[in-house]
Amino acid sequence: MHEVPLLINITLALIVAFLGGVTARRLGLPTIVGYLLAGIAIGPFTPGFVGDIDTIQQLAELGVIFLMFGVGLHFSFKDLWNVRDIAIPGALIQTAFATILGFGLSQLWGWTPLAGLVLGLAISVASTVVLLRGLMDNSLLNTSHGQAAVGWLVMEDILSVLILILMPTFAPSSVAFNWQALAITLLKSAAFIAIMFFAGTRLLPWLLEKIAHTRSRELFILAILAITLGTAMSASELFGVSLALGAFVAGAIISQSHLSHQVGADLFSFRETFSVLFFVSVGMLVNPTFLWENIGQVVSLSVLVVLGKLIIVILMGFFFPRPARTFLVVAIGLSQVGEFSFILGQGGLSLNLLDSNQYSLILAAALISITVNPFMYKLLPWLEAQLRRIPGFWKKLDANTHILEIKKEKLVDHVVIVGYGRVGKHMVDVLEKLSVPMLVIEGDAERITSLNQRGIPTLYGDASNSEVIDHAHLDRASVLVVTIPDETSAELIVTAARDLNPDLLIVARAATEEGVQMLSNRGANYTIHPELEGGLEMVHHTLLSLGFPLQEVHLYAAAVRKDHYDVQVNTEEEHRLLHEMINAMANIEVIWLRLPTGNPLVGQTLAEANLRARTGASVVAIIRNKQAMANPKSHTVFEAEDRIGFIGDKDQIEAAENLLAETEDEEKTTSS
Q: Which residues bind ligand AMP (CB under 6 A)?
A: 142-144, 418-424, 441-444, 447, 462-464, 483-486, 489
Residue with smaller CB distance to ligand AMP, 153 or 418? 418
Could you tell me the smallest distance in angstroms from the CB atom of residue 158 to ligand AMP?
Answer: 24
Residues 609, 662: Cα–Cα separation, whole Å: 14
- Alpha-helical (H) ranges within 588-629 are 606-609, 611-615
Residue with smaller CB distance to ligand AMP, 59 or 468? 468
Say how many C-beta atoms besides its own lie within 10 A of residue 301's C-beta: 26
- Alpha-helical (H) ranges within 523-623 are 530-545, 550-565, 571-587, 606-609, 611-615
Could you tell me the smallest distance in angstroms from the CB atom of residue 347 to ligand AMP?
Answer: 38
- Alpha-helical (H) ranges within 439-485 are 445-453, 466-470
Could you tell me the smallest distance in angstroms from the CB atom of residue 448 to ligand AMP?
Answer: 9
Residues 456, 233: Cα–Cα separation, whole Å: 54
Could you tell me the smallest distance in angstroms from the CB atom of residue 137 to ligand AMP?
Answer: 17
Residue with smaller CB distance to ligand AMP, 443 or 632? 443
The angle formed by the CA atoms of residues 447, 453 and 457, to the nearest 5 degrees, is 75
Cβ burial 67-78 (10 Å sphere, 16+ → b, else e): bbbbbbbbbeee
Residue with smaller CB distance to ligand AMP, 487 or 666? 487
CB 417 within 8 A of CB 424: yes
Could you tell me the smallest distance in angstroms from the CB atom of residue 497 to ligand AMP?
Answer: 13
Residue with smaller CB distance to ligand AMP, 9 or 147? 147
Q: With residue 620 as reference, give the H or E element that holds it.
A: strand 618-624
Could you tell me the smallest distance in angstroms from the CB atom of residue 376 to ligand AMP?
Answer: 20
Residue with smaller CB distance to ligand AMP, 83 or 365? 83
Residue with smaller CB distance to ligand AMP, 128 or 401? 401
Q: In degrees to the nearest 10, what's the CA dihedral of 496, 501, 502, 503?
A: -140
Residue with smaller CB distance to ligand AMP, 63 or 443? 443
618-624/627-630 β-pairing = antiparallel
Residue with smaller CB distance to ligand AMP, 312 or 481? 481
Could you tell me the smallest distance in angstroms from the CB atom of residue 482 to ligand AMP?
Answer: 9
Residue with smaller CB distance to ligand AMP, 61 or 486? 486
Q: Which residue is nearest to ligand AMP (CB)?
A: 421
Could you tell me the smallest distance in angstroms from the CB atom of residue 487 to ligand AMP?
Answer: 11
The answer for residues whose C-beta is within 8 angstroms of residue 386's C-beta and 6 or more apart is none
Could you tell me the smallest distance in angstroms from the CB atom of residue 522 to ligand AMP?
Answer: 15
Residue with smaller CB distance to ligand AMP, 486 or 552? 486
Could you tell me the smallest distance in angstroms from the CB atom of residue 509 to ligand AMP?
Answer: 8
Could you tell me the smallest distance in angstroms from the CB atom of residue 325 to ligand AMP?
Answer: 7
Could you tell me the smallest distance in angstroms from the CB atom of residue 145 to ligand AMP?
Answer: 8
Output the CA–CA distances (angstroms, integers) from residue 379 to 258, 329, 374, in the order listed: 40, 11, 9
Return the CA Rg of the chain.
32
Say how many C-beta atoms besides its own lie within 10 A of residue 298's C-beta: 20
Output the CA–CA distances (angstroms, integers) from residue 108 to 113, 285, 295, 357, 464, in the order listed: 11, 24, 15, 16, 43
Residue with smaller CB distance to ligand AMP, 491 or 642? 491
The answer for residues whose C-beta is within 8 angstroms of residue 38's C-beta and 6 or more apart is 13, 16, 17, 19, 20, 21, 280, 283
Could you tell me the smallest distance in angstroms from the CB atom of residue 468 to ligand AMP?
Answer: 7
Closest by alpha carbon to 480, among 466, 491, 492, 494?
A: 494
Residue with smaller CB distance to ligand AMP, 425 or 612? 425
Residue with smaller CB distance to ligand AMP, 165 or 496? 496
Residue with smaller CB distance to ligand AMP, 57 or 464? 464
Eight-state DSSP code of residue 506: E
Could you tell me the smallest distance in angstroms from the CB atom of residue 151 to ligand AMP?
Answer: 13
Output the CA–CA distances (angstroms, integers) from residue 575 to 112, 534, 562, in the order listed: 72, 20, 12
643-647/590-594 β-pairing = antiparallel
Could you tell me the smallest distance in angstroms from the CB atom of residue 461 to ligand AMP?
Answer: 7
Residue with smaller CB distance to ligand AMP, 271 or 325? 325
Output the CA–CA distances (angstroms, integers) from residue 288 to 29, 235, 294, 596, 615, in the order listed: 20, 36, 10, 82, 90
* Cα dihedral across residues 10, 15, 18, 23: positive or negative: negative
Residues 479, 473: Cα–Cα separation, whole Å: 11
Residues 628, 150: Cα–Cα separation, whole Å: 47
| Chain-centroid distance, C-alpha 307 | 26
Closest by alpha carbon to 377, among 319, 336, 322?
A: 336
What is the SS3 assignment for 646? strand
Could you tell me the smallest distance in angstroms from the CB atom of residue 483 to ligand AMP?
Answer: 5
Q: With residue 518 as reference, give the H or E element that holds it.
A: helix 513-522
Polymer length of the chain = 672
